[in-house]
């Protein structure tokens, strides 16, 4: 059944249609002027020297990993509480993800855990590189993810990266427009990645962007997205191993149109979130998104927590009720380290990822998009409260049966 209130929905209007039509009529559907135009606008919106457009956020992350020379037998510190792409990009290059736990309030990679790992396990070799004493492998980078649009503690992460000589790739795919201590997400680290799938704050259908201040890094990414061609040389001159990760002009034009009204797209999401906050504050058995001092979240998704005594029992029951009421929702994120294909592919130096698993069991994304209206929000809240009541009644009766049987 198609949900009557979807989980997400893009906000595309006449300007988008006009820009895309202009490209279609121009005859230049790829490698035309729309891509560099979109890149220039995007770089200026974020506040970085370069923006390199690619065909997905995943491609953006992959090219950053390659541009930093991360390869087999390198380790990258990251979070298991994320969308799989932020870990897959490490595996593509046969490097090893080092999963450290998150902070329960922000859901972001914990700087304390990074400090604990680096101070206990890192040994500097003769070249000054950080070597993990347990594995003998080099720790090369930190890949923080701004989960649900909430910026990570970037001051702490950048300081640790500097102290231990590590690179930083920001996964800002969920954080377009977010700010950390007055600075835009995407302006930290060696490079940052954005994504434009239709559920994101702005869309190109499919698409992604790398932003960096480093000229050589940007040039390497431009070359790698286009089969390793040198920008200065002949069409079929391949300087390195590359990919076809190009964004078409059709997609780029859509992106340019979305960027024209990005402030309003972000404001609409912000006010939808405020509306949910107001209606869901204090509901029993529910935790609404937390505020973090010094950070401005960009609202990507509206994720509530439904804690259960046993794993994800209650959350899953609420999820089923909402879906059968025609309301789109998702257990978001399922922890990456629990995906069957990840077995043996990562290390978790401190064992269990406790906070990651708690979040993974409790988190529930409910319908959220810039055009969601008051009636839809009311309907979602009503169904959610009902589902919570039903689930807790069921839990109590199950507990009674267990007691009487015991
Ligand atoms: C959306 C997203 C990506 C990239 O996704 P694509 O579908 O490849 O554009 C990467 N990381 C996170 C955390 C995301 O939410």
Task: Say yes or no to pLDDT of 56 above 80.
Answer: yes
Q: Which two tokens stand for residue 122?
A: 């890192």
Contact in structure between 41 and 259 (CB atoms under 8 Å): yes
pLDDT of residue 231: 73
pLDDT of residue 131: 98
Average pLDDT over residues 249-253: 98
Q: How far is the CA of 199 from the centre of ligand 1 (A)?
A: 10
How far apart (Å, rounded) are the C-alpha atoms in residues 315 and 333? Answer: 13
User: Which ligand 1 atom is the nearest neighbour of the CA of 199?
Assistant: 1
Residues contacting ligand 1 via CB (< 6 Å): 56-58, 82-83, 85-86, 145, 171, 173-174, 195, 197, 208
User: Which ligand 1 atom is the nearest neighbour of the CA of 86?
Assistant: 11
Task: Say yes or no to pLDDT of 323 above 80.
Answer: yes
pLDDT of residue 165: 96
Q: Which two tokens stand for residue 202?
A: 């702005």
Q: How far is the CA of 333 from the centre of ligand 1 (A)?
A: 12
pLDDT of residue 232: 66
Q: Residue 285 — left, alpha, or beta (φ > 0 → left; ψ -120 to 50 → alpha)?
A: left
Task: Say yes or no to pLDDT of 406 above 50.
Answer: no
From 304, 301, 272, 289, select the one nearest 375 (Cα to Cα). 272
From 207, 165, 158, select the one nearest 68 (Cα to Cα). 165
How far apart (Å, rounded) are the C-alpha atoms in residues 17 and 256? Answer: 11
pLDDT tens figures, 288-317: 999 998 999 999 999 999 999 989 999 999
User: Which ligand 1 atom is the nearest neighbour of the CA of 82?
Assistant: 13
DSSP one-letter code for 284: T
Task: Say yes or no to pLDDT of 236 above 80.
Answer: no
pLDDT of residue 400: 62
pLDDT of residue 46: 98
pLDDT tens figures, 131-140: 999 999 999 9
How far apart (Å, rounded) are the C-alpha atoms in residues 97 and 115? Answer: 16
**Least confident window among 77-81, 231-235, 374-378:** 231-235
DSSP one-letter code for 80: S
pLDDT of residue 14: 98
Residue to mutate, 171, 176, 206, ligand 1, most ligand atoms under 8 Å from C-beta: 171
**Residue 2 confidence class, pLDDT cut points 50, 70, 90:** low
pLDDT of residue 303: 98
pLDDT of residue 88: 98
Average pLDDT over residues 330-339: 96
pLDDT tens figures, 57-111: 999 999 999 999 999 999 999 999 999 999 999 999 999 999 999 999 999 999 9
Angle CA 232–234–235, to nearest 5? 110
Contact in structure between 367 and 327 (CB atoms under 8 Å): yes
pLDDT of residue 257: 98
Mean pLDDT of the chain, nearest integer: 95
pLDDT tens figures, 253-269: 999 999 999 999 999 99
* Cα 400 to chain centroid, rounded: 41
Average pLDDT over residues 318-340: 97
How far apart (Å, rounded) are the C-alpha atoms in residues 166 and 186? Answer: 17
Q: Residue 250 — left, alpha, or beta (φ > 0 → left; ψ -120 to 50 → alpha)?
A: alpha
Sign of the CA dihedral with 86 first, then 89, 91, and 96 last? negative
Q: How far is the CA of 236 from the centre of ligand 1 (A)?
A: 31
Place of tokens 């003998």: 136
Average pLDDT over residues 31-37: 97
How far apart (Å, rounded) are the C-alpha atoms in residues 188 and 172? Answer: 10
How far apart (Å, rounded) are the C-alpha atoms in residues 180 and 173? Answer: 15
Average pLDDT over residues 107-117: 98
Minimum CA distance residue for ligand 1 atom 5: 57
From 214, 123, 111, 208, select the one nearest 164 (Cα to Cα). 123
From 316, 345, 317, select the one nearest 331 (Cα to Cα). 316
Is there a cis peptide before residue 49, judged by omega within 30 degrees of 0?
A: no
**Residue 399 confidence class, pLDDT cut points 50, 70, 90:** low
DSSP one-letter code for 348: -
Looking at the chain, the whole-number percentage of residues with pLDDT higher than 70 is: 96
pLDDT tens figures, 344-368: 999 999 999 999 999 999 999 999 9
DSSP one-letter code for 229: B
pLDDT of residue 404: 57
Q: Which two tokens stand for residue 85?
A: 């792409």
**Residue 209 confidence class, pLDDT cut points 50, 70, 90:** very high
pLDDT of residue 65: 98
Q: Which two tokens stand for residue 291?
A: 């505020």
């Amino acid at each position: 059944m198609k949900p009557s209130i979807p989980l997400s929905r893009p906000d595309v209007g006449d300007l988008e249609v006009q820009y895309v039509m202009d490209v279609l009529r121009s005859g230049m559907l790829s490698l035309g002027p729309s891509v560099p135009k979109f890149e220039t606008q995007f770089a200026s919106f974020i506040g970085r020297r370069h923006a390199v457009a690619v065909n997905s956020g995943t491609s953006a992350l992959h090219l950053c990993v390659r541009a930093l020379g991360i390869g087999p037998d390198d380790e990258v510190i990251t979070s298991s509480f994320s969308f799989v792409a932020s870990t897959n990009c490490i595996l593509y290059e046969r490097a090893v993800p080092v999963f450290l736990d998150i902070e329960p309030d922000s859901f972001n990679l914990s700087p304390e855990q990074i400090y604990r790992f680096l101070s206990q396990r890192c040994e500097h070799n003769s070249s000054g590189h950080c070597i993990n004493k347990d594995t003998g492998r080099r720790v090369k980078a930190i890949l923080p993810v701004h989960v649900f649009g909430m910026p990570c503690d970037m001051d702490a992460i950048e300081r640790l990266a500097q102290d231990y000589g590590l690179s930083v790739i920001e996964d800002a795919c969920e954080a377009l427009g977010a700010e950390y201590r007055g600075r835009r997400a995407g302006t930290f680290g060696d490079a940052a990645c954005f994504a434009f799938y239709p559920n994101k704050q702005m869309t190109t259908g499919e698409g992604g962007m790398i932003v960096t201040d480093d000229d050589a890094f940007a040039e390497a990414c431009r070359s790698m997205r286009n089969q390793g061609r040198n920008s200065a040389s002949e069409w079929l001159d391949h300087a390195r191993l590359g990919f076809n990760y190009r964004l078409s002009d059709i997609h780029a034009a859509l992106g340019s149109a979305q960027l024209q009204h990005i402030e309003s797209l972000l404001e609409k999401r912000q006010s939808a979130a405020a509306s949910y906050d107001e209606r869901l504050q204090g509901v029993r058995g529910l935790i609404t998104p937390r505020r973090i001092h010094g950070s401005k979240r960009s609202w990507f998704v509206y994720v509530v927590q439904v804690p259960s005594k046993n794993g994800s029992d209650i959350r899953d029951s609420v999820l089923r009720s909402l879906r059968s009421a025609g309301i789109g929702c998702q257990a978001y994120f399922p922890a990456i380290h629990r995906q069957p294909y990840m077995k043996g592919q990562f290390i978790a130096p401190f064992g269990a990822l406790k906070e990651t698993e708690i979040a993974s069991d409790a988190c529930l994304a409910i319908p959220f998009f810039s055009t969601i209206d008051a009636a839809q929000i009311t309907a979602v809240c009503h169904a959610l409260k009902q589902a919570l009541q039903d689930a807790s009644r069921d839990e109590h009766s199950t507990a009674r049966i267990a007691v009487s049987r015991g």
